[in-house]
Amino acid sequence: MTQDKIKTVSQQGWVLIFICWLIAMAALFGSLFFSEVMGLKPCVLCWWQRIFIYPLAVLFLVGLFPFDRSVVRYTLPLAVIGLVFAVYHYLVYSGFIPESLQPCSKDLSCAEINLELMGFVTIPMVVSIAYIAIMMLLLI
């Protein structure tokens, strides 16, 4: 591989990780906006999704300056685990998971729909899409 080709591949990798960082930051600030500005209290599953998205924002930034391709090894598992929680939460929202398997209390239900855009877009759906986008970019 020539030096120019290596540099181009490295630049493309940097851009992909930067886009991952933008997605993670949007999810981070979105979750803070919903809880702190709109006053929507996060349920147990929301907290688990946050636990896996917040470090991604930091790790992607650390992996960008200087660019380190190995950041994929550290961030992909976090994105996969976060996606599992997001999909499970979406299934709870949709009514596919019975109440006996829901981890939330009656005071703060995971199945309660707090925000729904266009009649079908929910917060867990958006988080799932964010995790899927991050994973696809990391795998590229």
Question: Would the pLDDT of 79 be above 90?
Answer: yes
106 confidence band (pLDDT: 50, 70, 90): low
118 confidence band (pLDDT: 50, 70, 90): low
> What's the rounded mean pLDDT across residues 90-102?
76
130 confidence band (pLDDT: 50, 70, 90): very high
Q: Convert the pLDDT of each residue in 42-76 to its tens digit.
A: 888 888 888 999 999 999 999 988 888 889 999 99
Between vectors from CA 101 to CA 36 and to CA 99, what angle results, nearest 5°?
Answer: 80
The mean pLDDT value of the chain amounts to: 83
CA 9/CA 24 separation, integer angstroms:
23
**pLDDT of res. 75:** 94
Task: Determine which of 31-45, 54-68, 92-106, 122-136 has the lowest per-residue pLDDT on average.
Answer: 92-106
Residue 123 burial (C-beta neighbours within 10 Å; 0-12, 13-18, 19+):
buried
pTM for this predicted structure: 0.85
**pLDDT of res. 92:** 83
Q: 106-118: buried (b, 16+ CB within 10 Å) or exposed (e) per residue?
A: eeeebbeebeeee
